[in-house]
Amino acid sequence: MDNIVELFNNYEVHKYIKEMIHPIGQTLYNEFYVYIWVICIYTVFVFVILLMNLFLLLRLTTRLKFDDKLV
């Protein structure tokens, strides 16, 4: 067990593991890059739609309050 702990405390092992994992991380980033942007754009679009709905709802409620014919 102590040999395993010493192995992971060695700087050369850390460097070797990072060098092995870096291409995998880069490949995953390149594959999901487009999907991340689509999710971000979709989130902004939904936020704008919700704000527009809130604005229209507030306008409608103020008109209903002050309109003598509808109250």
pLDDT given for residue 71 in this prediction: 47
Which CB contacts under 8 angstroms, 24+ apart, belong to 40-49? none
Distance of alpha carbon 13 from alpha carbon 10, whole angstroms: 5
pLDDT beneath 70: ranges in the chain: 1-2, 66-71
Residue 59 in any domain: the answer is yes
> Range of 13's domain?
2-66
Residue 55 in any domain: the answer is yes
Backbone dihedral angles phi then psi of residue 12, each to the nearest 5 degrees: -65, -35
Domain count, the chain: 1
Distance of alpha carbon 51 from alpha carbon 39, whole angstroms: 18
Residue 71 in any domain: the answer is no
Residue 48 in any domain: the answer is yes
Residue 47 in any domain: the answer is yes
pLDDT given for residue 45 in this prediction: 98
Residue 58 in any domain: the answer is yes
Residue 39 in any domain: the answer is yes
pLDDT given for residue 70 in this prediction: 52
